[in-house]
Amino acid sequence: MGMRVVSVLLPWLMATTPFATAAPGAPELWERYSWVVLAVVVAGLLQAALIVALLLERRRRLGAQRLNLSVLDSLPGAVAILDRDGAVLRASAPSAQREGLGALSTQRLVVPGRAYLQALQKLALSGELESTGVATLLDQVLSGRVEEGMVEFRGPRADTWFELRARRLELPGGGAVVTVVDATPRRRAELEARRARDERAHMERVAAVGELGASIAHELNQPLSAIRTNAETALRLLQRTPADLTLLREVLEDIVADDQRAGEIIRRTRALLKKDQGPFTSHDFNELVRQVAQLVGNDAQLRGATLTLQLADTPLPVNGDGVQLQQVVLNLIMNALDAVSPCPPGERQVWVRTQRTDGRVELAVEDTGVGLSPEAQKRLFEPFFTTKATGLGMGLSISRSILEVHQGRLQAEPRTDRGTRFRCSLPAA
Ligand code: ADP
Per-residue pLDDT, 119: 73
Q: Is the pLDDT of residue 2 over 50?
A: no
Average pLDDT over residues 405-422: 94
Per-residue pLDDT, 103: 44
CA-nearest residue for atom 1, ligand 1, is 393
pLDDT band at 250 (very low <50, low <70, confident <90, very high): very high
Q: Which atom of ligand 1 is nearest to the CA of 394?
A: 6
Per-residue pLDDT, 44: 95
The span from the CA of 154 to the CA of 269, in Å, is 38
The finding on whether 86 has its CB within 6 A of some atom of ligand 1 is no
Q: Which atom of ligand 1 is nearest to the CA of 388?
A: 14
pLDDT band at 15 (very low <50, low <70, confident <90, very high): low
Q: How far is CA 40 from CA 25, 36, 245, 314, in A?
A: 21, 6, 132, 98
Per-residue pLDDT, 12: 56
The finding on whether 298 has its CB within 6 A of some atom of ligand 1 is no
CA-nearest residue for atom 7, ligand 1, is 395
Largest CA distance in the chain: 164
Average pLDDT of the chain is 84
Q: Which atom of ligand 1 is nearest to the CA of 393?
A: 8
CA-nearest residue for atom 8, ligand 1, is 393
Residues 6+ apart with CB under 8 A from 358: none
CA-nearest residue for atom 20, ligand 1, is 335
The finding on whether 395 has its CB within 6 A of some atom of ligand 1 is yes
Per-residue pLDDT, 106: 43
Burial of residue 340, with CB atoms counted within 10 A of its CB: 0-12 exposed, 13-18 middle, 19 or more buried: buried
- What are the strands of the beta sheet with 420-427, ordered from one edge? 306-310, 349-357, 360-367, 420-427, 409-414
Q: What are 180-218's pLDDT values in tens digits?
A: 888 888 999 988 888 888 888 888 888 888 877 777 887
Q: How far is CA 70 from CA 75, 76, 82, in A?
A: 9, 12, 18
The span from the CA of 308 to the CA of 366, in Å, is 10
- Asked if residues 371 and 419 have their Cβ atoms less than 8 Å apart, the reply is yes
**DSSP SS3 for 416:** coil
Per-residue pLDDT, 8: 52
Q: What are 73-123's pLDDT values in tens digits?
A: 777 778 888 998 888 888 887 776 666 555 444 445 677 777 887 777 776
DSSP secondary structure string for all residues of 38-102: HHHHHHHHHHHHHHHHHHHHHHHHHHHHHHHHHHHHHSSSEEEEE-TTSBEEEE--HHHHHHHST
| pTM of full prediction above 0.75 | no
Please give the distance, rounded to the nearest whole angstrom, from the Cα atom of residue 372 to the centre of ligand 1. 9
Burial of residue 273, with CB atoms counted within 10 A of its CB: 0-12 exposed, 13-18 middle, 19 or more buried: middle
The finding on whether 391 has its CB within 6 A of some atom of ligand 1 is yes
In DSSP terms, 65 is beta-bridged to none
Q: Which atom of ligand 1 is nearest to the CA of 365?
A: 23
- Asked if residues 81 and 106 have their Cβ atoms less than 8 Å apart, the reply is no
pLDDT band at 66 (very low <50, low <70, confident <90, very high): confident
Q: Which atom of ligand 1 is nearest to the CA of 396?
A: 6
Please give the distance, rounded to the nearest whole angstrom, from the Cα atom of residue 423 to the centre of ligand 1. 14
Residue type, 154: R
Percent of the chain with pLDDT over 90: 40
Stronger pLDDT, 46 or 212, i.e. the higher one: 46
Q: Is the pLDDT of residue 128 over 80?
A: no
Per-residue pLDDT, 173: 83
Which H helix or E strand runs over 28?
helix 26-74
What's CA 255's distance to the chain center, in Å? 50
Long-range contacts of the stretch 355-359 (C-beta < 8 A, 24+): 355/312, 356/312, 356/314, 356/316, 356/428, 357/425, 359/427, 359/428
Residues 6+ apart with CB under 8 A from 362: 354, 355, 356, 423, 424, 425
The finding on whether 179 has its CB within 6 A of some atom of ligand 1 is no
The span from the CA of 337 to the CA of 304, in Å, is 10
Please give the distance, rounded to the nearest whole angstrom, from the Cα atom of residue 189 to the centre of ligand 1. 29
The span from the CA of 212 to the CA of 203, in Å, is 14
Per-residue pLDDT, 337: 95
The span from the CA of 410 to the CA of 421, in Å, is 11
The finding on whether 387 has its CB within 6 A of some atom of ligand 1 is yes
The finding on whether 401 has its CB within 6 A of some atom of ligand 1 is no
Please give the distance, rounded to the nearest whole angstrom, from the Cα atom of residue 214 to the centre of ligand 1. 21
Q: What are 263-311's pLDDT values in tens digits?
A: 988 887 888 787 766 678 999 999 999 989 988 888 898 889 999 999 9
